[in-house]
Amino acid sequence: MRSAILNVMANAALKAARGLIRDFGEVEQLQVSVKGPGEFVSTADLKAERILRAELTRARPGYALLLEESGATAGPDQRHRWIVDPLDGTTNFLHGIPHFSISIALERDGEIVAGVVYEPTRDEMYAAEKGFGAYLNDRRLRVSARRQLGEAVIGTGMPFGVRADQPGYVDSLASMMSATSGVRRMGSAALDLAYVAAGRYDGFWEFGLAPWDIAAGILLVREAGGYVSDMAGGHEMMTTGDVLAANDHLHLPLAALIREALRGGRVTRRV
Ligand code: IPD
Ligand code: CA
Ligand code: CA
């Protein structure tokens, strides 16, 4: 049984996902040549965002919004804010790779209290409410119990384009590659965090993410018993965009590994 607020969020995600799945089918069939795939995908993205805005606003009219595509809207309710990424994993979507998600978080008094990440192609609904645990569909989630770094599989996001020269990233990647049993870059940060919550990944790190990429995922990891911090070990993930998530055993060694890597290289970043 989901709470009323999680139902609102999950139903909004399901409704927006129907359009995304249809549009993804067209990308796969390469039927998008009229305007070009880039424009087609951004239209799909905007359509999903419009549905999410309409559904969330209909259910809770006064809440403020922070939407990736249309930005921030204040509401008469000063305490609540929706934080939404209508399509996380745009590059995958554009290339016909079936790994993308919708992420919806609810913030109350500056704290994330509910989060949903939905993966349409696998029909996997991750949902968490503060104090009530994290779920994948109807199954309660728990982060992995692995204690050995050498056995751990760690997710990441690699900076690209203008962010490609992110100081220290390549050094942190090199350290992770030699210390763990493998690094994965799957292309949706919201799902990366959901995978940590589900115990599929033993950890995840990425620099420079946006609030809508991580707001719901952070709560999922915490409610699944995991630990999330920024790279300095603090809790400024939403402002720095830097995220390290793992189970309790691995968080400390992973944080140390990244800190060392950043110190050793072209570091300009606060550690
Ligand atoms: C991106 C994905 C990706 C991460 C990027 C994000 P988008 O979001 O989460 O995994 O590495 O930093 O921008 O653009 O697909 O919504
Ligand atoms: Ca995103
Ligand atoms: Ca997006």
Write out pLDDT tens, residues 1-50.
789 999 999 999 999 999 999 999 988 876 555 556 677 778 899 999 99
| Whether residue 16 is found in the same domain as residue 136 | yes
88 ligand 1 Cβ < 6 A: yes
Torsion angles phi and psi, residue 157, rounded to 5: -125, 130
90 ligand 1 Cβ < 6 A: yes
Asked, for residue 211, whether it belongs to a domain, the answer is yes
Burial of 208 (0-12, 13-18, 19+ CB in 10 A): middle
Asked, for residue 198, whether it belongs to a domain, the answer is yes
Q: Are 269 and 262 in contact (CB under 8 A)?
A: yes
pTM of the model: 0.95
Asked, for residue 267, whether it belongs to a domain, the answer is no
User: Which of 94, 209, 212 has most ligand 1 atoms within 8 Å of CB, for mutation?
Assistant: 209
Tell me the CATH number at 198: 3.40.190.80
104 ligand 1 Cβ < 6 A: no
| C-alpha 196 to ligand 3 mean position (Å) | 20
Q: Which of 111, 140, 169 is the last residue of a domain?
A: 140
Q: Are 243 and 237 in contact (CB under 8 A)?
A: yes
Torsion angles phi and psi, residue 171, rounded to 5: -65, -40
Q: Which of 140, 159, 194 is the last residue of a domain?
A: 140
| Whether residue 76 is found in the same domain as residue 116 | yes
| C-alpha 148 to ligand 2 mean position (Å) | 30
Cα–Cα distance for residue pair 221/142, rounded to 1 Å: 8
Asked, for residue 39, whether it belongs to a domain, the answer is yes
pLDDT reported for residue 163: 82
Asked, for residue 167, whether it belongs to a domain, the answer is yes
* Count of domains observed in the chain: 2
Ligand nearest to the CA of 195: 1
Strands 227-229 and 153-156: unpaired
Residue-wise DSSP of 141-201: P-------GGG-EEEE----GGGTT-TTHHHHHHHHHHHSSEEE--S-HHHHHHHHHTTSS
Asked, for residue 166, whether it belongs to a domain, the answer is yes
**CA-proximal residue: ligand 1, atom 8 (nearest):** 88
Along the 271 residues of the chain, how does pLDDT read in single tens digits? 789 999 999 999 999 999 999 999 988 876 555 556 677 778 899 999 999 999 999 999 999 999 999 999 998 998 999 999 999 999 999 989 999 999 999 999 999 999 999 999 999 999 999 999 999 999 999 999 999 999 999 999 999 888 887 888 999 999 999 999 999 999 999 999 999 999 999 999 999 999 999 999 999 999 999 999 999 999 999 999 999 999 999 999 999 999 999 987 433 433 3
Query: Nearest-CA neighbor of 83 among 53, 58, 62?
Result: 53
Q: What residues have their beta carbon closer than 5 A to ion ligand 2?
A: 85, 88, 213
CB contact set of 145 (below 8 Å; sequence gap of 6+): 199, 247, 249
Cα–Cα distance for residue pair 11/242, rounded to 1 Å: 30
| Whether residue 135 is found in the same domain as residue 156 | no
Q: Which of 140, 170, 193 is the last residue of a domain?
A: 140
| Whether residue 8 is found in the same domain as residue 133 | yes
| C-alpha 27 to ligand 3 mean position (Å) | 17
77 half-sphere exposure, CB direction, 13 A CA radius? 16
Q: Which residues pair with 139 in a beta bridge?
A: 136
Tell me the CATH number at 11: 3.30.540.10
Asked, for residue 15, whether it belongs to a domain, the answer is yes
213 ligand 1 Cβ < 6 A: yes
Which residues constitute the domain of residue 189? 149-262
Write out pLDDT tens, residues 203-219.
999 999 999 999 999 99
